[in-house]
Amino acid sequence: MKTQIVVALALTTLAGSSALAADIAVRRAAPVAVGPAFNCAAGQFGGAHVGIHAGSVYHQAHRQDTDGFLTDNAGWTMNKWAGHAGGGIGYDWTTCSTVWGIELDASWLFATKNFLPDNPNAGPAGDGITTRADWLATARLRSGVALDNLLIYATGGVAASRFRTTWVNAPNTFDSRETRFGWVAGLGTEWAWSRNVSFKFETLYVGFTDRDRSVVIAGPATFNFTHSDSMWISRIGLNYRWGAPVVARY
C-alpha cells in the first residue's frame, strides 16, 4: 500500500513539472515587440512636408519679330543664367519601397533681365529687346523608389511664370506683361537625415506655350510678335516632415 502511494505521488509531481515546462515554452514562443519603427525603407518619406529651396535657373527666351518692328523680321534668342529661391508643401504616400506624392512650390527669380540691342553698330543705344521672368510656380506629381534612407524619383506636372518683354524702336515702345502656363518634368533625390528632416536635389525642365502679341503704333501700322520661353532649373532643398506612419516591428 505504501509503495502504491509513493508511486502515485511521483507520477503526479512528474506530470505537473511537464505541464509547467510546456507552459513556459509556449510563453517564450510568443512574439515580443521591440519598439516602434518604420516597417520598410519608404516609410520615412510618408506624410506631409513643408520646405525651402534655392538654386540656379537657365532662362531661354526666343522672340520673333514677324513684321519688321526692329531692323528686320527676324527671331532672336536670349539666354540668361540667374538665381531663384522659394518654398513648397507636399504630401507623400508609401508602400514598402515606393513613394507617390504631390508637391506645390513657388520661387522668386533673380537677375533674369536680359537686353539684346537691335543693331549694336547703329541707331539709338536703347533700341532692342529686353526680357525678364519674375517668378515660377509648379504643381507636380512624383513617384520613386526608396533605398534605405535615399529616395530616387521622377516628377512632372504643370507650371506658370510671369514674363515681361519690352520692344523699343525709338520713339516707339511696346511693353508686354503676361503670365504663361506650361509643363514641367524632371528627376530628383531626397535623403532622410532623420525621421522629420530631409534634404533634396532636383533638376527640372520647364516649357511654356507660345504667346502671339500685336501692337498698333503711329502710321497706323500693326506689328505682331511671338514670345517663346523655356527654363532649366537646378536646386537643393530642406524639408520638414510629419505624419509619417509608424508601426511596431516584430
**Do residues 104 and 14 share a domain?**
no
C-alpha dihedral over 90, 95, 98, 101, to 10 degrees? -20
- Over residues 234-250, mean pLDDT: 75
241 and 139, same domain (yes or no): yes
Cell numbers standing for residue 115: 537686353
pLDDT at 40: 64
Query: Is residue 117 located within the same domain as residue 14?
Result: no
Lowest mean pLDDT of 26-35, 59-68, 96-105, name the range.
26-35
Q: Which residue has the cell 517668378?
A: 135
The predicted structure's pLDDT at residue 61: 95
- In which band, very low, low, confident or very high, does the pLDDT at 211 lie, cut at 50, 70 and 90? very high
Domain count, the chain: 2
pLDDT for the residue 5: 43
- Give the CATH number for residue 66: 2.40.160.20
User: Are residue 20 and residue 76 in the same domain, yes or no?
Assistant: no
Closest CA to 96 of 150, 38, 17, 168: 38
Query: In this structure, are 206 and 234 located in the same domain?
Result: yes
Calculate the alpha carbon distances from 242 to 41, 101, 194 in Å. 16, 14, 11
Q: What is the pLDDT of residue 217?
A: 83
Q: What is the DSSP letter of 23?
A: H
Whole-model pTM?
A: 0.79
Asked whether the predicted pLDDT for residue 136 surpasses 70, the reply is yes
Residue with the three cell numbers 524632371 = 186
What is the per-residue pLDDT for 244?
A: 64
Query: Are 46 and 22 members of one domain?
Result: no
In this predicted structure, what is the pLDDT of residue 13?
Answer: 46
Q: Across all residues in the chain, what is the average pLDDT? A: 83
Q: How confident is the model at residue 245 (pLDDT cuts 50, 70, 90)?
A: low
* Whether residue 61 sits in one domain with residue 25: no
The confidence band for 126, taking pLDDT boundaries of 50, 70 and 90, is confident
DSSP 71-127: SSS-EEEEEEEEEEEEEEEEEEEE-SSEEEEEEEEEEEEES--EEEES-TTSS-TT-
Question: In this structure, are 84 and 187 located in the same domain?
Answer: yes
Looking at the structure, do residues 147 and 214 belong to the same domain, yes or no? yes
The domain in which residue 108 lies consists of 39-248
CA atoms within 13 A on the CB side of 104: 3
One domain, residues 8 and 88:
no
Residue-wise burial string across 204-213, b where 16 or more C-beta atoms lie within 10 A, e elsewhere: bbbebeebee
54 and 177 housed in the same domain = yes
Which tops the pLDDT comparison, 32 or 168? 168
Flag the least confident range among 50-54, 116-120, 139-143.
116-120
Q: Residue 41: which pLDDT band, with cuts at 50, 70 and 90? A: low
Q: What is the pLDDT of residues 72-119, one digit of tens each?
A: 667 889 999 999 999 999 999 988 889 999 999 999 999 888 888 876
Answer yes or no: is pLDDT of 1 > 80: no
Is 90 exceeded by the pLDDT of residue 19? no
